[in-house]
Amino acid sequence: AAGVVAALKRLDPSLIVEGVGGPRMAAAGATIHQETTTKAAMSLHAIKRVLEIRRLEAWLRNRYRSADKPDLHICVDSSGFNLRFAKLAREAGVKTLYFVAPQLWASRAGRIKLMRAYVDRLACIFPFEAEWFGSRGVKTTFVGHPLFDQLPENRLDRVPAARFPDRPLVIGVVAGSRRSEVRENFPPLLEVMKLIRGKYPDARFLIPTTPAGDAIVRSFFPSQSENHAVIKQDAFDELIPQCDLVLCKSGTSTVHVAAYGVPMIVVYRINTVLWQALGRWLIKTPKIAMVNILAGNVELVPEFIPWNGDAAPVADRALDLLANPQKLTEMRQNLLKLIEPMDHRGASENVAKIAIEMLHEK
């Protein structure tokens, strides 16, 4: 959202941008009426989450009833509450632009009716989404993935040309960005690391962390002498290009790893009973890892989703790949080919251009 705000202000400095968000949006030029980033809904208990959404809904309702109501409403990502907010905008006669399509193609496809009813334009970040939503009656434009706006220039220059057998193996470990994700995924990933070291004692592990998860990861390495592991905060783009293989939590991070062409194994730890009761009924795609969905729902990279935390199968798959450099080379080539349609900057700028176009429509 911050990138879109910055692009809007750059294209038309006279625009007044306001809403809910955090410091990055404010720094980009938005007036923040409700601070939400420190209270992210994913980290709230259910009751607190409901109360937070109701507060936001009440604020929006009052805002759209005011004499100086906004001319355009921009939703970002989650359909859970954004479609409710889009309904408020529609009832007030305010157009809605939705950025980052909700993944209805994977789950809760019935919400497409709400998209048609309340959303005027949809700006999607994956190429296949333009056809999926467009064929279902939602005016959709593929704008590009905002991740590529943030990646370093000439990023592939960071990927070493020489790999086997010139140096010890380098394994990346990405356990998630939120505290809850790291708490769930890192302990079993640590067991996978131990099994890999049993076969390759010289292997090094590079672990990029976020501010939310850094302390959790470091708590598993009390000794400063454990030089087989490098833990560094906010260093994804520094560490991941150096890796031969990455153990990666499912999510946007898989696309981030793919942007460097680094082979990966994707995991996501979830309670098996919960998955059997809900997950397998809600999620309709044959594959769950985003890179595999982008590949046409085939296993471009191994995925263990749902994962019960058993380290052995993941380690076995990793060891098989590490013992076969040709498999890693093929995976690397396939990943780079996969991200080609998204490999360009300008997603935020494209969204801002659509927004300004909508503002000038009669």
Please name the helix (run of DSSP H) or strand (run of DSSP E) that holds residue 24, with its range, or none.
Answer: helix 23-28
**Cβ atoms of residues 143 and 351 within 8 Å:** yes
Instruction: Indicate the domain borders of the chain.
Output: 2-98+346-360, 155-342
DSSP code, position 278 = I
For the entire predicted model, the pTM comes to: 0.89
> Quick count: other Cβ atoms within 10 Å of Cβ 68?
7
Q: What is the pLDDT of residues 32-82, one digit of tens each?
A: 877 765 544 444 455 666 777 788 888 888 888 988 899 999 999 877 789
According to the model, what pLDDT value does residue 164 have?
A: 54
According to the model, what pLDDT value does residue 205 have?
A: 97
Closest to 107 (Cα-Cα) out of 270, 278, 250 = 278
274, two tokens: 């919960």
Q: What is the pLDDT of residues 123-168, one digit of tens each?
A: 999 999 999 999 999 999 999 999 999 999 889 887 776 555 667 8
According to the model, what pLDDT value does residue 237 have?
A: 96
DSSP code, position 144 = -
According to the model, what pLDDT value does residue 39 have?
A: 46
C-alpha span between 132 and 140 (Å, rounded): 9
According to the model, what pLDDT value does residue 100 have?
A: 96
Cα angle 297-253-126, degrees, rounded to a multiple of 5:
50
According to the model, what pLDDT value does residue 291 have?
A: 97
- In the chain, the amino acid numbered 154 is N
Phi, psi of 132 (to 5 degrees): -60, -50
According to the model, what pLDDT value does residue 163 have?
A: 58
- CATH topology for 155-342 is Rossmann fold (3.40.50)
Residues of the chain with pLDDT under 50: 39-44
According to the model, what pLDDT value does residue 46 have?
A: 53
DSSP string, 46-81: HHHHHHHHHHHHHHHHHHHHSTT--SEEEEES-HHH
In this structure, the dihedral spanned by the alpha carbons of residues 179, 183, 186 and 191, taken in order and rounded to 10 degrees, is: 170
According to the model, what pLDDT value does residue 94 have?
A: 94
152, two tokens: 């370093």
**Cβ atoms of residues 282 and 317 within 8 Å:** no
According to the model, what pLDDT value does residue 145 have?
A: 96
Residue 179 Rama label (left phi>0; alpha psi -120 to 50; beta): alpha
